[in-house]
Chains A and B, each alone.
Chain A
Amino acid sequence: GQNIDQPTEMTATEGAIVQINCTYQTSGFNGLFWYQQHAGEAPTFLSYNVLDGLEEKGRFSSFLSRSKGYSYLLLKELQMKDSASYLCAVDMNRDDKIIFGKGTRLHILP
C-alpha cells in the first residue's frame, strides 16, 4: 500500500524557524507537493518538488531526497498567520492520483 508519514502536531514560536518532515513509501513517484490549509479553509499550494535538493520561495523552502523517500518544509521567520495544517502529498506518476498525508497542525506561540 501507499504510506505517507508526517508528525500530527508541532509547536513553534513567532519569529523562529520550524521544519516539518514527511516520509513516503509509494509504488510510484513523480513529485511531491506541500499544501497549506487553514482551519475551515481550502488547501493552498506551497511547492512542488521533482528533483532532489532545496527549493526556496520567500520564507518557505522545500527539500526532497528521492533516494531516501523524504521531504521537509522549512518555514522561517514564523508569523502568527502561519498557524495552519501543512499537507504533504505524493504525485505517484503522471496518470495516477495524488496521495495526501494526514497533515501536520502547526501552532505558533507569541
Chain B
Amino acid sequence: GAGVSQSPRYKVAKRGQDVALRCDPISGHVSLFWYQQALGQGPEFLTYFQNEAQLDKSGLPSDRFFAERPEGSVSTLKIQRTQQEDSAVYLCASSLGTFSYEQYFGPGTRLTVT
C-alpha cells in the first residue's frame, strides 16, 4: 500500500510569504505528527493529532505556525509570514497509535525562505 506522502517536496518562499505544506498519512492511521528537521540535526517535534483532534502543539515555534487535520486524515501545516529561520525540512509521520508505536515518515518538504 501507499506510504505517507507530502507535497510539495520542495518549496522556495520569499520572506514574508505564507506557505501551506500537505501531508497524506497512511490510510487508517489514527495519529499524525509534524516535525521540523534542520540540516545535520534530528527531527524536532512540532505538533500531534489523534484523528482530527490536535492534542499537543507545544513544539510549534511561534503563532505563525498553524496545523489542522479537519477530517482526521489529510493534514496541512501552514506557516504565515515566513522568516529565514523557518528554512528546514518539514517531516510528517503517521502511526496506528500514540508515541509508543512505530512512526512511518513521509519524504518531507524542504522549505527554503529567501
A45, B102: Cβ atoms closer than 8 Å: yes
- Kindly count the residue-residue contacts between A and B in the assembled complex, taking CB atoms under 8 Å apart: 56
A97, B58: Cβ atoms closer than 8 Å: yes
Interface size class of B (residues with CB under 8 A): 20 to 34
Give Cα A41–Cα B59 distance, bound, in whole angstroms: 22
Q: Which of B41, B100, B103, B107 contacts A41 (CB 8 A)?
A: B107
Residues of chain A within 8 A of B105, CB atoms compared: 42-44
B41, A97: Cβ atoms closer than 8 Å: no
B99, A96: Cβ atoms closer than 8 Å: yes
Q: Please judge, given known A-B contacts A97-B45, A102-B42, whether A30 and B100 are in contact too, CB under 8 Å.
A: yes
Query: A residues touching B (Cβ–Cβ < 8 Å)?
Result: 4, 30-31, 33, 41-45, 48, 87, 89, 91-92, 94-103
Query: B residues touching A (Cβ–Cβ < 8 Å)?
Result: 4, 35, 40-45, 48, 55-56, 58-59, 91, 98-100, 102-108
